[in-house]
Every structure is written in C-alpha cells, then in structure tokens.
Amino acid sequence: MLNKSKSHSISLVSSYHPTSSYKKEELEEYDHKFANFISDIPTSNTTIIGTDLNTAIGTKGSFEKKKDEEEDDIMSKLSRAHGNPYLNER
C-alpha cells in the first residue's frame, strides 16, 4: 500500500516489437535496446509496460510438445483450445 503523504513515480512504457520478418540481428538489437531502456528506470518506480509483441502462440494442440519438456511448460500455460492456431517461426 502506498503512503498517501509521499509521492510515488510511475513509469509508463509503450513498445511496438518488430515482426518476425525482420532480420535476426535487427530483432536482437531491438531486444537489447528495450532491455537497456527498462533497466534505466529506477527500481523505486512502478513500471507498467504496454506492448504489441506481434506474436502468435497458437492454440493447445497446434504445437508438438518435446518429450523432454515438463507438463507445466510455458506454452501449456498460455495456449487454449480456441483462437488462431498459427505459430510464429521464432
């Protein structure tokens, strides 16, 4: 809970991530610059990030689980039965 008599800083960040059609080097450069930008925000600030990640994670069943992955892997947590079954290549 915030102390009402003390000010508090909020950092609002809006980002548009390049699509997978960009070269790998360009994507890595964006990621590096974005990470540096975020790391420059004081840790005392509340940071809210709104972004368009240009991602397609598919639906449950639109990707094959590798045998060595655990049942609670991130794709199982994010994907559901309905929606666009398309997956980004990267």
For the stretch 30-65, pLDDT in tens is 999 999 999 999 999 999 998 776 666 666 665 555
Residues 66 and 82 reside in one and the same domain: yes
**What percent of the chain is predicted at pLDDT more than 70?**
53
- What number of CA atoms fall less than 13 Å from residue 63's CA on the CB side? 23
**Cα R_g (the chain), whole angstroms:** 18
Residue 85: predicted pLDDT:
62
Query: 28 and 38, same structural domain?
Result: yes
Q: Is residue 77 part of a domain?
A: yes
Domain membership of residue 78 (yes or no) is yes
Do residues 75 and 57 touch, judged by C-beta distance below 8 A? Answer: yes
Query: 37 and 22 share a domain?
Result: yes
Query: Is the same domain home to 37 and 63?
Result: no
Residue 36 resides in a domain? yes
Boundaries of domain holding 32: 12-54
